[in-house]
Amino acid sequence: MGEIKKFPGQPILSQVLELIPGQLIHAANRKHKANRYYKTLSFRVHLVSMLFGVFSYCNGLRELCEGLLACEGKLSHLGLDKAPARSTLSDANSNRHYQVFETIYYGLLRQYHSFISDSRLKGLSIRNLKVIDSTTIQLFSEILRGVGRNRLDGARKKGGIKVHALMDAFSGVTEFIRITEAREHDRKFLYHLKLVPNSWIVFDKAYTTYNQFAKWADQKIWFVTRERGNADFHVTKVLVDKTRQRKSKGVLKEQLVTVGVKQNGTVVQRLKLRRITYLSEEGKTYVFITNNITLPATQIATIYKNRWMIELLFKQIKQNFPLRYFWGESPNAIKIQVYCVLIAQLLMVVIRKKAATKKSFANMITVIRLHLTSYVNLLEFIKDTYKAWRKTHNASFAFTT
């Protein structure tokens, strides 16, 4: 595991980048031959430049390159001889395949997964919970042509990309993503997942597809979701019924049901499911379905409650990293920027865990953004900003006198 140096002989950004092993960069470069057809800007310089733009929250390549120019005298700490030209970086975003950045992200995830994962989630006895959802990033149709629909008011047509994500609930980071046009239906993402037996997966009702649910039942992969309003089911057994009890909360009803699995419009199988009606503390009624028969109904409700973790993750990424404006118009450039944002988010999770800080994610990333080129110990700075800053400047004053 990469270690951050104890003494602030390097600016904060350099200390952040130390968490990316050089061996990982070299392996990804060699795997995808990232420098073979584009030698004017090495992959490492490309990666460092993009991460500088992400952490600096740059809204365009001009801001990014001019920001690097302002770091004159400190670029050597980042492994750069000089700041790349805007045209050079633009060409690299178009020509260098995004998969090399994808490889870096998954390599970092493998390295730090056990470190950032909590041993358990409050109220749950399971150990392998995944959360699925998607988020849409709006783009004008000139960037992804053919995406979106014409506006009735005659305004500029908007399209977008959709980032489908599989999140590990115990680590708080995405384990698998797929980037598509915004118009692609969410449930298609399920066909790209590779889950191990006894995994738990939770998602909203937009992903309901009984054919996939039947395959998971055979593989002993357990899911929790909400029932669709037009669901057609047959009750085979009532396990619990508290609907007639006054002031009853929590699990109101628990039933065993079957639903039809269709192929070419014909029902070929009756899938056995468990249907749970739950009244929350706020007085809202939810109806959950799952293919697991043994886990207590209250834990099924708790599992679905943890689905909101991925909503918070999307909010965290969109609010703290540059995804409103893109640094290229090609799909490849957009995907590179998305993966660089994911790399930065993962590094921030690792740093937050190392520093054992109580700072919010937004506060932590803001402090780092404002001091990217400051010479101060990163972990001390995150844990207690004022104390670390005084310590560094007192030491500098003592040295000069």
The structural domains of the chain, with segments of one domain joined by +, span: 12-103+328-400
Residue 180 tokens, joined: 């598509």
- pLDDT of amino acid 337: 92
- Global pTM reads 0.84
User: Long-range contacts: 106-112, Cβ < 8 Å, 24+?
Assistant: 107/24, 107/27, 107/28, 108/19, 108/20, 108/24, 108/343, 108/346, 108/347, 109/173, 109/175, 109/346, 111/1, 111/2, 111/21, 111/24, 112/1, 112/346, 112/349, 112/350
- 130/313 Cα distance (integer angstroms): 13
Q: What pLDDT does 383 receive?
A: 79
What is the structure's pLDDT at 1?
54
The sign one gets for the Cα dihedral 32, 114, 376, 336 is positive
Cα–Cα distance measured from residue 3 to residue 136, given in angstroms and rounded to the nearest whole number: 35
Each of the 401 residues of the chain gets a pLDDT tens digit; together they read 555 544 457 888 888 999 999 999 999 999 999 888 777 788 998 999 999 999 999 888 888 988 888 776 677 777 777 888 899 899 999 989 999 999 999 999 999 988 888 766 666 778 888 999 988 887 644 444 444 455 555 555 556 788 899 998 888 888 898 888 877 888 889 989 988 999 999 999 888 888 899 999 999 999 999 998 888 889 999 998 888 887 778 889 999 999 888 888 788 889 899 999 998 888 889 999 999 999 999 999 999 998 988 998 888 898 888 887 788 888 899 999 999 999 999 999 999 888 888 888 888 898 888 888 888 888 888 877 777 667 666 655 444 54
Q: Which amino acid is at 223?
A: F
- pLDDT number for residue 139: 65
Task: Identify residue 52 by its one-letter amino acid code.
Answer: F
Under 8 Å between Cβ of 182 and 147? yes
Contact between residue 179 and residue 165 where contact means Cβ atoms under 8 Å apart: no
CA distances from 243 to 147, 278, 356 (A): 47, 10, 46
Question: Distance between CA 257 and CA 272 in Å, rounded?
Answer: 6
pLDDT at 7: 47
